[in-house]
Structure formats: C-alpha cells, structure tokens
Amino acid sequence: MPGISADYVIVGAGSAGCAIAYRLVEAGHTVAIIEHGGSDAGPLIQMPGALSFPMNMPRYDWGFRSEAEPGLGGRELVVPRGKVLGGSSSINGMVYVRGHACDYDHWAEAGAAGWSFADVLPYFKRMETWHDNGHGGDPEWRGTNGPLHVTRGTRANPLYRAFVEAGREAGYQVTDDYNGVQQEGFGPMEQTVWKGRRWSAANAYLRPAKASGRLRIVRGLAERIAFDGNRAVGVELAGGRVVRAHGEVIIAASAINSPKLLMLSGIGPAGHLRDHGIEVRADRPGVGTNLQDHLEIYVQMAASRPITLFRYWNLPGKAWVGAQWLFSRTGPGATNNFESAAFIRSRAGVRYPDIQYHFLPLAVRYDGKVAAEGHGFQAHVGPMRSKSRGDVTLRDGNPASAPRIRFNYMSHPDDWVDFRRCIRLTREIFAQDAFALYRKHEIQPGEGVQTDDELDAAIREHAESAYHPCGTCRMGAADDPGAVVDPECRVIGVEGLRVADSSIFPRITNGNLNGPSIMVGEKAADHILGRRLPRENAQPWIHPDWANAQR
C-alpha cells in the first residue's frame, strides 16, 4: 500500500476518531483512519444483548490488564478496549450518558477554556437523534438530526419499574431524562441502540463517511508519529509503511493507547522516555498520568419470583433470544437490558450527583457468569469522582508491547468512605416496599457483611472496573506544565498533532464515557476546521437544598 496520504490522518477508528472523520469528510477533506482491529460485522457485536461476548474476545479487544492493584488485594483487572472498527463503542455496554453540566464547567475552570457545559451542549445536540419512546424527557435539551441514535428500552420487566419506584419511596427525585435538565434522580436509562442493533460509532459515523469516497480505512499498528522537524507529518506503521498527512495528525487511540503512542514518538516525561532509549522530542510530564476510572460493585439480590433474565440462561433460552433477534430485531437480544438508572448524591453538601446506578434484572458479571443462586437482580453502584489517580507507562520501547496500566484504585482514604456509603444506600433502596414482591435475600456482598471492615473486605474482593479509563493526556492551558493538549486539542510542544478522545478529559465525567468521547470528537473536528457552534446557556437542575439535604 505505497504512498498513502490524506489531508488528515487519524489514529484509531473508535468513538472519537469516527466522529472526527465524519465531520472532516463532510467538510470536503480527505481522511485516512488507521485501525489495528478488523471488521465489526457479525451478530456478537451487532446484537445488543450479546454485549458480554465481544469485550471478552481477543479478536475485538486489545486484552489489556492492569498491574496488581494494592487497594484491591493485589488483583489484576481486565481493561477492555476495542480493537475493531468502532473501537470501544463496538464492545461496550451501549449505555448513553452525557455527564452532568457541572462536570464540563469544572473542565473549563481547570484550564480547558471553551469546554464548559454551555460550549459542549450544542455538540451533544448535534451528534444525536433522540427517541424518547413516549416516556417524556426534555426535547429542548436533545438533538433530532444527528448520526447517533439514542433510544430507551421497553422496560417491560416489572423490576425496572420497581427500581424507580423504590428510589421514589426512599425519598429521591424521579427524572424523565437524566441527559436533560435534571440528571439527579431515578428513571429510564438510555442506550445507543437503533432498530434492535448496536448503534456504534462505526454504524453512526464511519460507514457514512466511507460512502463519501473521501475516507480510507488503513489497517495496521501505529508505531510512532512521523515528524519533519517539530511538525507531525504522518504515522509510521508496523512493517515500515508511512501514512502521510498534508494537514494534521489526530490521535484518537484511547486513554491507554494515545499516551503510549505519544511516548513512543518522544512526547512524554523525559526521564521515562530516556529509560527506554527514546529520543525526547517534547518533555511533557503529564503524558500517561491522571489516569481515572469508575470502580463499581454489584449489589446482588436473589429474586423470589422467576421473572428475571435468568429464564433465558440455558441453551434453549439463548437459542430463542438469538432467533428472535435475528428474524425480528426484538426481544431481550435487542436491548443492553440496562433500562433503569439513577444518579444520586452521597450526602448533604455534595452539589450534584456523585453516585451512579445501572439496574439489571439478572445477577451476572460482565464476563457472563451468573450468580449461583439463579434468579436475581442487581444494581451496579460506585462513586463517580474518585480522588485516586493512576498512570499509563511504557513497559519497554517496543510498539508491540502492552503498556503498564496502574489505576491505583482505592488509594485515597475518601474512596473507602464513599464506597461503603454506596453499598449502604443501595441496601436501603432494595429494602423499600416496591421490591417486597421480588426480593428474597442479598447475594453480594451478603447480609452478614455489615461493619466497615467487612464492607472494605468485600470491596477489595468484588469491586470491578466499569471500563471508563480516561484523563491520561489531560487538556489544560497551554502554559500548564502538567497539561498535554491545549483547549484546541493541540499537543503542547509540537506542531500539526492533536489528541481527541477520553484521554484528554481533565476529570472523569458522571456516568458512562462513550457519549462524552464522541462529543470530544465532534468538537475537536470543529477546532480542526476553525469553526465553532454558538454557546447555549441552558441551566441544569440542582437540588435546591443540596447544601443541607442528601435527597
């Protein structure tokens, strides 16, 4: 494939990279997008209910693991990242959350000027076509003509309603649209599913861009950025190929691979690069630092009635679900089955939600292993804004080697206080009358686990990543020594190079990160094109007595 070149070269056909490619092609430019993974065709990716399969398959996943985590008893956690067209949007849980307005205002305050909620809301609206499915919501906050379809499940299982009703009984708010004016409260969860099919960034953005004739998908492993002097001019691939950029190079390779590629290209902490025999091009100590994630625990209840998804957890049941999906795109296979959610505040004095719930009418792990008890249901719960920080560093100078990933989970003492509170608040919700018909007993952590020490032991043993790594190429002011990119997404210290994906988040946002990652791609494309959507000063709902009341 000699002489590949384009106006813009993007590394990574994932959530942000696909969005950038779409907008640059739409503006008339040629784009080459480099992806190490292969096709996203096939039912295991396109069928929403099969979500536990692709994230556990080497064909679609990079297969990263964390280092041994001292705060979790030395466990190594899996760190799935999509190695496939669509990136992690092709293997994720398809949950759609924008984040809270205050998250983006914090970004701006932390040095990411132009990334306040007023700045990003127009991009969230531009990127989505929202379908409320007749459940209400806030149309003026939502988009109607974007590439990304956002839908809600049917919520046919009575447990979805029980979860929301239990929240109301416990004194919490109910919200019709957590992606609208009011995130705080219990209500329907949204998903990137359209007509029973996973609506990944590949389906939403990449295929339309390719149909234009101006996008070329290049298969290969990006080993380093090619420079002419201080300017990025292309990407060197394994095997000696170079994809050249007439304009700019954009890295959108994930919070794990983006800092790795920068460091392999000589951009990063000078001492660390020299340790691995890499010539320093720009000493940026922030590359690879500031790693954040959401950690969660599954509070699982045994069900007293056989109404959960466990009824399908056998060969005939799975065959029926698969056939129903294949022939009609309906049934349990046509949804991610996360159809009710909640965002609450952990205590008085917290201004906006810092706890998220995913509710599932099945007691199961992400690897597809169900609880031994059979019928059950669970809430995934964890703190949204952990104070723990980790890093991504090079294992060696070989581009084929996986980087070292250290999250340092639970390394801040406040995380333990917050996590215990998450579990106790969840137990209170499951104890409400709304669940009286359905609950039997607690499976995990287990009713005997009550003291702080017992809860801490359960957290060490059972807490799991929500797979939301971010922050490793932090965006900030150009004169901030710890920042990696400026508010235009330009890598500080070189020219012609940008990073645009979840790695640039100054701080993790509330909820799942796919929506914010796509938004970053949408907005970065406008920065590249030298244009900007006008700001929208919509005011989010904040609990009027947040300083004194928890609910």
Q: What is the pLDDT of residues 160-169, one digit of tens each?
A: 999 999 999 9
* Spatial CA neighbour of 298 closest among 156, 465, 450: 465
* Spatial CA neighbour of 244 closest among 8, 481, 480, 520: 8
Hunting for tokens 């396109």 — which residue is that?
46
Domains of the chain: 1-151+191-289+391-402+470-532 (3.50.50.60), 154-188+295-383+411-462 (3.30.410.40)
Question: Per-residue pLDDT tens for 475-520?
Answer: 999 999 999 999 999 999 999 999 999 999 999 999 999 999 999 9
* Contact criterion met (CB below 8 Å) for 31 and 10: yes
**DSSP 3-state assignment of 546?**
coil
Q: Supply the pLDDT for residue 538.
A: 93
The mean per-residue pLDDT over the stretch 325-345 comes to 95
Q: How many angstroms separate the CA atoms of 30 and 243, rounded?
A: 13
The mean per-residue pLDDT over the stretch 384-396 comes to 98
**What is the distance between the terminal CA atoms of the chain, rounded to a whole angstrom?**
60
List binding-site positions for FAD: 84, 92-95
Q: Supply the pLDDT for residue 1.
A: 44
Residue 297 has pLDDT above 50, yes or no: yes
Average pLDDT, the chain: 96
| Backbone φ, ψ for residue 487 (5° rounding) | -65, -5
The mean per-residue pLDDT over the stretch 338-349 comes to 98
Q: How many angstroms separate the CA atoms of 365 and 363, rounded?
A: 7
Residue 83 has pLDDT above 90, yes or no: yes
Question: Per-residue pLDDT tens for 188-218?
Answer: 999 999 999 999 999 999 999 999 999 999 9
Residue 474 has pLDDT above 60, yes or no: yes
Residue 2 has pLDDT above 70, yes or no: no
Three-state SS for 81-145 is CECECCHHHHCCCCECCCCCHHHHHHHHHCCCCCCCHHHHHHHHHHHEEECCCCCCCCHHHCCEC
Q: How many angstroms separate the CA atoms of 393 and 401, rounded?
A: 11
Quote the longest CA-to-CA distance of the chain: 70
Inter-residue long-range contacts of 139-148, CB under 8 Å, 24+ positions, other chains counted: 140/538, 141/177, 141/179, 141/180, 141/181, 141/538, 142/177, 142/179, 142/180, 147/19, 147/22, 147/204, 147/205, 147/208, 148/192, 148/199, 148/201, 148/204, 148/205, 148/518
List binding-site positions: 84, 92-95
Bridge-partner residues for 379, per DSSP? 299, 359
Residue 305 has pLDDT above 80, yes or no: yes
Residue 423 has pLDDT above 90, yes or no: yes
* Contact criterion met (CB below 8 Å) for 235 and 243: yes
Q: Supply the pLDDT for residue 89.
A: 98
Question: Per-residue pLDDT tens for 227-271?
Answer: 999 999 999 999 999 999 999 999 999 999 999 999 999 999 999
Q: Supply the pLDDT for residue 3.
A: 78
How many other CB atoms are there within 10 angstroms of residue 449's CB atom?
Answer: 17
Using a pLDDT cut of 70, give the percent of the chain over it.
99
Just list the catalytic residues: 468
Q: Supply the pLDDT for residue 504.
A: 98
236 is written with which tokens?
């060197």
* Contact criterion met (CB below 8 Å) for 135 and 188: yes
Length of the chain: 551
pTM: 0.97
The mean per-residue pLDDT over the stretch 358-381 comes to 86
Three-state SS for 434-491 is HHCCCEEEEEECCCCCCCHHHHHHHHHHHCEECCCCECCCCECCCCCCCCCECCCCEE
Q: How many angstroms separate the CA atoms of 308 and 158, rounded?
A: 9
Using a pLDDT cut of 90, give the percent of the chain over it.
94
The mean per-residue pLDDT over the stretch 465-480 comes to 98
The mean per-residue pLDDT over the stretch 353-366 comes to 92
